[in-house]
Amino acid sequence: MNRRTLLKSMALGAGASFGSGLFPDVTRAATTKGTPKRVIFFMQNQGFAPSTAIPAGMKNSGSLAKAKLPEPIEALEPFKERMHIINGLHGMHTSPSHSPFFGALGGYRGGDGVAPSDSTIDYELSKVLPETLLPHLCIGMDSIENMRAKPTVANLSASGAGQPIFMHSNPNHLYEMLYGGISEGDIRKQHEARSSMFGRIEQMAATKGENLPPTDSKRYGQYVRGFDDINGLRDRLGSVSAHLRKFAPKVDDGYSNPEFETDWHDRILDLGISALKSGITSVLTVGSGRGEIFGAWKGLGVEQQGHNLGHMKQPDNPIWVKIRQYNSRMLVKLMEELESVPEGSGSMMDNTLIVYTSNNADSQHTSGKNWPVMLLGNCGGAFKTGCFTQLDGKRPINALYTSILRASGVECDRFNMSEQLAAKFDSGTGPLKEILA
């Protein structure tokens, strides 16, 4: 049985018995408390200034119960008991000025045009969390011009050295990929046309690659497998169409005729949420700015865009207040949508961890000396919440990723950090005791 046939048969089994195959097992959720069933990474470009999240006057670790959240994240006030604000991690070894690109989620040195040197934390989690039809989904938000010109880019996630994972930025393309098989009209026609085209390309590519010299054959094989994965996903999603119909977002004018880029931002997020709720994926990576130094928010009344936004001070800046408030509303939507879906004895949100940070540490031009992070959700008590933690700046973001892997059942002391590198950049080993319950 070849790989495509195997995956298709697994999907058919999942469609016949919800929860027993590649969808979340809602019956097991009640007996696996304390481990994440899904993880969301929300990466904002241009930096995450700590004062835009840390309550005024809070210098030391403590409870958030009586604290008032700063204006940029005030939308999260009702969710303080599910929040953990962390200050004092570092990423100096990633060269984050402007962006370390893959290094932000990989915990290694990166940069513009630099290929990933290893896998990233989101991909590694997709291998150990409950199996789904599409283990890992990346979505990216940018200016409308960039999203149209480059509907897919690869800047943040990777499955291994030299193996980037593409993020989707055009909601029309992503909708057609996820739900084209259950749609009607033009979307269905586009889906069928693309499926036929990708199938022919895969066949031709496989044939043409047979006569390549060994040095090129491996690289070409990755190209062919990419089309195989696309075609296999379309087959798998098509086989569970009855289930997917319950979760597909409504297509409106915001897809085909957006007034602002934020219209597409909102819809690309809706598609990410639908993929989580339907069980298509267990790991969602959101790239606001797509891991680069660009990005636009004209729909918020912000006329400035791109690189110039990173040269503005974020604290008390009305422009960055608007952008951060917009992000906070997205985080609230993610939590409320997952809260609305029962899972086990609670809801999907009870088994979800959201990691909000920036691929630029604390600012666009940064040494990475301070890398603020905000966690939402405790996954049935696996993570401490309702608190602020001030660290001493001696542990890297890799330790955070190690902690999430540990909570997911992976026994590891370091993530993507050799002993030699750790001797210079990590004062400890293992997970962060300050965040695990």
Enclosing H/E stretch for 424: helix 419-425
For residue 201, is it within any domain? no
Res. 156: pLDDT tops 90: yes
For residue 433, is it within any domain? no
Residue range 109-128, pLDDT digits in tens: 999 999 999 999 999 999 99
Res. 356: pLDDT tops 70: yes
Amino acid 16: pLDDT = 32
For residue 56, is it within any domain? yes
For residue 235, is it within any domain? no
Q: Check residues 306 and 87 and name the one with the higher pLDDT.
A: 87
**How many residues can be counted in the chain?**
437
Amino acid 68: pLDDT = 97
Amino acid 242: pLDDT = 80
Segments forming the whole domain that contains residue 124:
14-177+256-425
400 in Cβ contact with 86 (< 8 Å): yes
- The mean per-residue pLDDT over the stretch 307-324 comes to 95
- For the chain, give the mean pLDDT: 87
Amino acid 240: pLDDT = 80
- The mean per-residue pLDDT over the stretch 367-378 comes to 98
Task: Compute the Cα dihedral for 329, 79, 25, 128 and give only its sign.
Answer: positive
Res. 271: pLDDT tops 60: yes
Amino acid 241: pLDDT = 78
Domain containing residue 313: CATH number: 3.40.720
Provide, rounded to the nearest whole percent, the portion of the chain with pLDDT above 90.
73
pTM of the predicted model, to two decimals?
Answer: 0.87
Residue range 417-427, pLDDT digits in tens: 999 999 999 99
Structure tokens at 150: 């480059």
Bridge partner list, 89? 395
Amino acid 369: pLDDT = 98
- The mean per-residue pLDDT over the stretch 287-292 comes to 96
For residue 436, is it within any domain? no
For residue 221, is it within any domain? no
Provide, rounded to the nearest whole percent, the portion of the chain with pLDDT above 70.
80
Res. 162: pLDDT tops 80: yes
Whole-number Cα distances in Å, 287 to 74, 91, 156: 22, 18, 8
Kindly give the interhelix angle for 214-238 and 185-208, rounded to the nearest 10 degrees. Answer: 150
Whole-number Cα distances in Å, 412 to 108, 113, 178, 227, 407: 17, 30, 34, 33, 11
Amino acid 33: pLDDT = 54
The tally of domains found in the chain comes to: 1
Amino acid 188: pLDDT = 55
Alpha carbon 149 to its chain centroid, in Å, reads: 22
The span from the CA of 29 to the CA of 352, in Å, is 11
Residue range 129-152, pLDDT digits in tens: 998 988 899 999 999 999 999 999
Amino acid 124: pLDDT = 98
Amino acid 288: pLDDT = 97
- The mean per-residue pLDDT over the stretch 302-306 comes to 92
For residue 34, is it within any domain? yes
- The mean per-residue pLDDT over the stretch 39-68 comes to 97
Amino acid 5: pLDDT = 41
Amino acid 239: pLDDT = 73
Work out the pLDDT band at 381, boundaries 50, 70, 90: very high
Work out the pLDDT band at 219, boundaries 50, 70, 90: low
For residue 349, is it within any domain? yes
Give the gyration radius of the chain's Cα atoms.
21
Amino acid 222: pLDDT = 55
- The mean per-residue pLDDT over the stretch 51-78 comes to 97
